[in-house]
């Protein structure tokens, strides 16, 4: 009887060892899904072997830290600030900065092997002005934005060769459909921001200053000197001739009304291009050393004689700050 029990035990133990041999324990059996952020449980934030990495904010103005992609704004951080990038979620990097965790747009963060493009993203809803989307909406918009960027980047190399003008892309946008007339500050920014940014890329003239000058000189588009399409009050003869109108000038501390000739243009784009060219000449060129400091740049071109209003520079700075025109500047 004892022998029979012993034999049964041996057979039982042998079966157990066979099962263990057939299903070996591996590290893969407990490895988490690499699409899941282990720290937050956010499956949209991809964690891979290259993270965490050191990154740097590369933006023309302070960059928003959001609670999730296109989420609530947690803070604003200066260009040049260091961040730790811990993951990716669509258009956004998940980051840590100054003890805070959140999300920053990838276009304005440089990491090793992936410099910041600084390309203007599409802002869903009211996110351009600091608004936010719900968590689900934000993540969906971010994922769609990343897909759209990927497809547009793949076709940009072929389309760029057919563009003869550096600012032609902006010219075919909102500015080309603008018919004149006063705009709200938000609409003014949307219509003219892209061309101001493109001209800054070509010439260095701060986009924020360009927009503020155009807003101040035209009353947000309400007056472009008759049909002259002159957005900057530039005097003389332009590509389309000139127009003589009454204008107010400060002379010896007093405002007087005089008649003067102002340049005419064939298009709004031509006015912006001529303005950028003017600010590169010897009279105003000195100010370009402050192209990354728009407030100082505005003060310097005023000192050089752009406009006779003694409060001209302070008015430009107030407009830039009130409407966050700095967002259009490129580094």
Same domain, 109 and 181: no
Provide the pLDDT for residue 169: 39
* Domain presence at residue 301: yes
Q: What pLDDT, in 10s, does the model give residues 105-157? A: 998 899 998 888 877 777 777 777 778 889 998 898 888 878 766 544 443 33
* Paired strand residues for 66: 73, 103
The rounded percent of the chain whose pLDDT value lies above 70 is 76
Same domain? For 314 and 175 the reply is yes
Same structural domain, 114 and 223: no
The SS3 of residue 255 is: strand
The CATH number that applies at residue 224 is 1.10.530.10
Q: How confident is the model at residue 5 (pLDDT cuts 50, 70, 90)?
A: low
312-322 vs 207-218: helix crossing angle, rounded to 10: 110
Residue 323 and residue 174 share a domain: yes
What is the model's pLDDT at position 124? 76
Choose the final residue of a domain: 78, 93, 119. Answer: 119
In a domain? residue 133? no
Same domain, 320 and 178: yes
pTM above 0.75, yes or no: no
Write out the two tokens for 45. 């934030």
> pLDDT digit string (tens) for 198-220?
999 999 999 999 999 999 999 99
Q: Read out DSSP for 177-226?
A: H---S---HHHHHHHHHHHHHHHHHHH---HHHHHHHHHHHHTTTT-SST
Q: Tell me: do 197 and 275 sit in the same domain.
A: yes
On whether both 230 and 302 belong to a single domain, the answer is yes
Instruction: Let me know: does 243 contact 166? Beta carbons within 8 Å.
Output: no
- Asked whether the predicted pLDDT for residue 282 surpasses 70, the reply is yes
Section 171-184 average pLDDT: 79
Is residue 61 one of the residues assigned to a domain?
A: yes
Residue 188 falls within a domain, yes or no? yes
Tell which of 119, 154, 182 closes a domain. Answer: 119
Nearest of 20, 143, 135 to residue 89 by alpha carbon: 143
Consecutive H or E run containing 307: none
Neighbours of 95 (CB within 10 A): 22
Q: Are 114 and 175 found together in one domain?
A: no
Distances (CA, A) of 12 to 16, 19, 114, 165, 166: 7, 11, 59, 83, 80
How many CB atoms are located within 10 Å of the residue 146 CB?
A: 17
The mean per-residue pLDDT over the stretch 244-258 comes to: 77
In this structure, are residues 258 and 243 in contact, taking their beta carbons and an 8 Å threshold? no
**Number of domains, the chain:** 2
d(CA 45, CA 316) in angstroms, rounded, equals 41
Any domain includes 311? yes
Q: Kindly tell me if the per-residue pLDDT of 330 is higher than 90.
A: no
CA–CA distance, 278 with 290 (Å, rounded to integer):
16
Three-state secondary structure readout of 77-142? ECCCCEEEEEEEECCEEEEEECCEEEEEEHHHEEECCECCCCCCCCCCCCHHHCCCCCHHHHHHHH
Q: Measured between alpha carbons, how far is 118 from 183 in angstroms, rounded to an integer?
A: 27
Q: Are residues 300 and 228 in the same domain?
A: yes
What sign does the CA torsion over 197, 199, 204, 205 have?
A: negative
Residue 3 has pLDDT above 80, yes or no: no
Domain for residue 140, yes or no? no
**Residue 285 forms part of a structural domain:** yes
Q: Which two tokens stand for residue 245?
A: 């109108």
Confidence band for 13, pLDDT divided at 50, 70 and 90? low
Considering the domain architecture, whether residues 176 and 95 belong to the same structural domain is answered as no
Q: Which of 84, 119, 154 is the last residue of a domain?
A: 119
Q: Tell me how far apart the alpha carbons of residues 92 and 200 are, in angstroms, rounded to a whole number.
A: 25
Question: What CATH number is associated with residue 61?
Answer: 2.30.30.40
pLDDT band (50, 70, 90) for residue 283? confident
Q: Would you say residue 179 lies in a domain?
A: yes
92 and 181 share a domain? no
Do 181 and 107 have their domain in common? Answer: no
The range of the structural domain enclosing residue 88 comes to 31-119
Nearest C-alpha neighbor of 193 from the set 121, 141, 104? 121
245-271 average pLDDT score: 83
């Amino acid at each position: 009887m004892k022998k029979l029990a012993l034999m049964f035990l041996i057979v039982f133990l042998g079966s157990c060892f066979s099962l263990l041999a057939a299903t070996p324990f591996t590290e893969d059996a407990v490895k988490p899904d690499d699409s899941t952020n282990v720290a937050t449980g956010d499956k949209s934030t991809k964690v891979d072997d290259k993270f965490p990495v050191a990154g740097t904010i590369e933006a023309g103005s302070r960059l928003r830290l959001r609670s999730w992609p296109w989420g609530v704004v947690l803070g604003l951080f200066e260009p040049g600030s260091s961040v730790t990038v811990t993951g990716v979620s669509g258009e956004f990097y998940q980051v840590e900065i100054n003890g805070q965790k959140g999300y920053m747009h990838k276009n304005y963060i440089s990491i090793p092997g992936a410099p910041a493009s600084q390309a203007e993203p599409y802002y869903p809803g009211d996110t351009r002005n600091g608004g936010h989307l719900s968590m689900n909406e934000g993540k969906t918009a971010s994922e769609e934005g990343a897909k759209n960027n990927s497809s547009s980047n793949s076709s940009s190399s072929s389309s760029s060769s057919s563009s003869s003008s550096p600012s032609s892309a902006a010219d075919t946008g909102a500015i080309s459909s603008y018919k004149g007339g006063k705009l709200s500050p938000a609409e003014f920014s949307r219509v003219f921001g892209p061309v101001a940014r493109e001209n800054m890329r070509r010439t260095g003239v701060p986009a924020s200053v360009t927009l503020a000058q155009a807003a101040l000189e035209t009353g947000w588009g309400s007056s472009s000197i008759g049909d002259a399409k002159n957005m900057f009050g530039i005097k003389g003869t332009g590509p389309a001739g000139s127009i003589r109108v009454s204008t107010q000038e400060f002379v010896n501390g007093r405002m007087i009304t005089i008649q003067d000739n102002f340049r005419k243009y064939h298009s709004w784009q031509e006015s912006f291009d001529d303005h950028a060219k003017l600010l590169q000449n010897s009279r105003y060129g000195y100010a370009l050393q402050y192209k990354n400091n728009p407030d100082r740049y505005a003060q310097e071109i005023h000192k050089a004689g752009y406009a006779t209003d003694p409060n001209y520079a302070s008015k430009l700075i107030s407009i830039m700050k009130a409407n966050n025109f700095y967002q259009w500047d490129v580094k």
